[in-house]
Amino acid sequence: MTKYVIKRVIAAILTLWALVTIVFFLSRLMPGEPFTNPKLTPQVIENMNKYYGFDKPLIVQYFQYMGNLLHGNFGYSMKYTNKTVNYIIGQTFPFSADLGIRALTLAISFGLVLGILAARKRGTKIDFFCVLIAIIGTSIPDFIMGALLQYFFGIKWGLLPVALYKGFKYTILPATALAFYTLASVSRIMRASMLEVTSQDYIKTARSKGLSEARITIRHQIRNAIMPVMTILGPTVAAVLTGTFVIEAIFAIPGMGKYYVESVNNNDYSMILGMTMFYGIFLVTANLIVDILYGVADPRVRIGKK
Cα 132 to the chain's mean position, in Å?
A: 25
Binding part of the chain for other proteins, among 14-22, 49-57, 164-172, 294-302 by CB under 8 A, reads: 14-22
Contact 111, 187 (CB under 8 A): yes
Minimum distance between the CB of residue 27 and other proteins, rounded to whole angstroms?
A: 6
Cα 15 to the chain's mean position, in Å?
A: 18
By the 10 Å C-beta count (0-12 exposed, 13-18 middle, 19+ buried), 127 is classed as middle
Among 95, 260, 271, 286, contact with other proteins (rule: CB under 8 A)? 260
Residues 175-234, interacting with other proteins (CB under 8 A): none
10 Å Cβ neighbour count for 150?
20
Residues 127-146, interacting with other proteins (CB under 8 A): 135-136, 138-141, 143-144
Task: Kindly tell me which of 56 and 258 has the beta carbon lying closer to other proteins.
Answer: 258
232-254 burial string, b = 16+ CB within 10 Å, else e? ebbebbbbbbbbbbbbbebbebe
Q: Does 15 bind other proteins (CB under 8 A)?
A: yes
Between the two ends of the chain, the Cα-to-Cα distance in Å is: 11
Contact 227, 193 (CB under 8 A): yes
Q: Does 14 bind other proteins (CB under 8 A)?
A: yes
Among 35, 93, 95, 279, contact with other proteins (rule: CB under 8 A)? 279
Binding part of the chain for other proteins, among 23-31, 66-74, 76-84, 118-126 by CB under 8 A, reads: 23-31
Footprint of other proteins (CB under 8 A)? 11, 14-16, 18-19, 22-23, 26-27, 29-31, 135-136, 138-141, 143-144, 147-148, 151, 155, 235, 245-246, 260-261, 264, 272, 275-276, 279-280, 283-284
